[in-house]
C-alpha cells in the first residue's frame, strides 16, 4: 500500500506528533508513506516531488512546533487562484486526482481543520480513498471532543494572563487580552478561567458593555483597582458584528478576524477611571513547543489513521470521543463549528466563581451565524 500524508490549513502544535505517529505505525504495517509539501501545493505543483518518508524522516520532531511538511491555508484544490493575487479561480481537483493515480497512491491522509475535512469529502466523492485527522487550535471542529493544538494554545494564553496580572495591579489598569478562536470561545473561556480573569467575552455570548463597566467599577469599589479581561477575537457586543481585518478575497478563504480588543477598549473609554491597555496574543498561540497532552493526542491520532489505512477503512475522520480514539464517516461530521454552550457547565462554572461574561444566565441571544469554508 502507498499513502500520501499532508498538513493543510494553518499550523498547530502537535502536527509533527501526528506525522511521527502515522509514519512509524505505517512503516510497521508495511505501508509506503509519501509526504506532500505545503498542504495541497505538493500535489498541485508538477515541479515538486512527493517526499518518501520512513522512520528516519521523523526522528527528533516530536517536541517541535509547526510541521516538517509545511502548511498552507491558501491551497483550495477546488478553487485555486489562476495566478498569485488573482480573485479568479479554477478547479484543480482533477490534477490532484491524476497525480495520485500516476503514483499509484492508495489513500490520501489529510491533517487539517473544517476546510480540509470538506475537501476530503469532495475527494472521496471523486473516488479518492481519504482519511482525515482533525486539527485546529480553536477546538471547534465538530465530531471530535478535542483537537490537538488547543491545550498548547490555552497554556500560552494562560501564561500571558499570568504575566498581565502583575503589571495590571502595579499600574491599576484594565488589561484586555485578545485571543484567537474565530467564532468559538473555547480558548478565551478556558484560558480566562485558568488564569483568573475577571471578565471573559466569547462569541457565543454577545456582551453588554454596561455589564463590563459595572464589573470594573465593582472591583474598584471593593479595593481591587485593576481588571483582567480576556476577549475572543470573535466576540461582539449585543447587536454588533464581529470585528474583521480582511474580507474574503477568494472562494474558500476565511475572513480574517481581529480588532475585538481595541473595539472594547474604545467602548470602555470615558466609562471607567482607568488606563486601558490591549494585548493581542496572535500567532504566539500557534507556535512553540506542543504540550505533553497535544503530543500524546496527535501521536494517538496519527497511529489510528495508519491503522485505518491498513484496514482500508477510508472515507473517515479520526476523532477523540471521551478518552477513546476512533473514527467516524466523513459524511457524518455535523454541519457547522462546535461552539461553547452558553448555558453549559463550563459557562456556569465561570459564573459560579464570579467571572463576568457580558450577559447573565438566560440572557444569551443567538450570535451571528458562524461561517466555514464548507
11 catalytic per annotation: no
Residue pair 194/245 in contact by the 8 Å Cβ criterion: no
DSSP 356: B
Nearest C-alpha neighbor of 7 from the set 148, 112, 135? 112
Q: How does DSSP classify residue 237?
A: B
Q: Which DSSP state fits 43? A: H
Q: In what order do the strands lie in the sheet with 199-201?
A: 199-201, 227-232, 174-179, 276-280
The position carrying cell 463576568 is 356
How many CA within 13 A on the CB side of residue 192?
Answer: 33
- Compute the distance between CA of residue 301 and CA of residue 121 in angstroms, rounded to an integer: 19
Given the residues 38, 114, 138, 140, the one annotated as active site: 138
CA distances from 265 to 53, 118, 189 (A): 50, 37, 19
Q: Are 193 and 355 in contact (CB under 8 A)?
A: yes
Residues β-bridged to residue 327 = 318
Give 229's strand partners. Answer: 176, 199
Residues with catalytic function? 138
Amino acid at each position: 500500500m502507498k499513502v500520501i500524508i499532508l498538513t493543510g490549513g494553518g499550523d498547530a502544535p502537535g502536527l509533527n506528533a501526528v506525522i511521527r505517529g502515522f509514519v512509524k505505525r505505517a512503516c510497521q504495517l508495511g505501508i509506503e508513506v509519501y509526504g506532500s509539501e505545503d498542504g495541497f501545493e505538493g500535489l498541485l505543483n508538477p515541479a515538486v516531488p512527493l517526499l518518501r518518508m520512513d522512520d528516519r524522516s521523523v526522528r527528533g520532531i516530536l517536541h517541535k512546533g509547526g510541521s516538517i511538511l509545511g502548511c498552507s491555508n491558501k491551497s483550495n484544490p477546488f478553487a485555486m487562484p489562476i495566478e498569485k493575487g488573482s480573485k479568479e479561480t479554477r478547479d484543480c481537483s482533477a490534477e490532484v486526482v491524476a497525480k495520485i493515480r500516476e503514483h499509484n497512491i492508495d489513500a490520501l491522509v489529510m491533517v487539517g481543520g473544517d476546510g480540509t475535512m470538506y475537501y476530503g469529502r469532495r475527494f472521496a466523492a471523486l473516488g479518492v480513498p481519504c482519511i482525515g485527522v482533525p486539527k485546529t487550535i480553536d477546538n471547534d471542529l465538530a465530531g471530535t471532543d478535542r483537537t490537538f493544538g488547543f491545550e498548547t494554545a490555552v497554556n500560552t494564553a494562560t501564561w500571558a494572563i499570568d504575566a498581565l496580572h502583575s503589571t495590571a495591579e502595579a499600574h491599576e489598569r484594565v488589561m484586555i487580552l485578545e485571543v484567537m478562536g474565530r467564532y468559538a470561545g473555547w480558548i478565551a473561556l478556558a484560558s480566562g478561567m485558568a488564569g483568573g480573569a475577571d471578565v471573559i467575552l466569547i462569541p457565543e455570548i454577545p456582551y453588554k458593555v454596561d455589564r463590563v463597566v459595572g464589573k470594573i467599577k465593582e472591583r474598584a469599589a471593593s479595593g481591587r483597582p485593576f481588571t483582567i479581561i480576556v476577549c475572543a477575537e470573535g466576540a461582539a457586543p449585543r447587536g454588533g458584528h464581529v470585528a474583521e481585518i480582511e474580507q474574503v478575497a477568494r472562494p474558500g478563504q476565511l475572513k480574517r478576524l481581529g480588532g475585538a480588543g481595541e473595539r472594547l477598549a474604545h467602548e470602555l473609554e470615558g466609562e471607567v477611571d482607568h488606563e486601558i491597555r490591549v494585548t493581542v496574543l496572535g500567532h504566539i498561540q500557534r507556535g512553540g513547543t506542543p504540550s505533553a497532552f497535544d503530543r500524546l493526542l496527535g501521536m494517538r491520532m496519527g497511529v489510528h489513521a495508519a491503522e485505518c489505512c491498513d484496514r482500508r477503512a477510508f472515507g473517515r475522520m479520526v476523532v477523540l470521543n471521551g478518552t477513546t480514539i476512533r473514527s467516524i464517516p466523513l459524511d457524518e461530521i455535523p454541519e457547522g463549528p462546535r461552539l461553547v454552550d452558553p448555558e453549559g457547565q463550563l459557562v456556569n462554572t465561570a459564573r459560579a466563581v464570579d467571572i463576568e461574561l457580558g450577559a447573565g444566565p438566560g440572557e444569551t441571544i443567538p450570535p451571528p451565524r458562524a461561517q466555514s469554508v464548507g
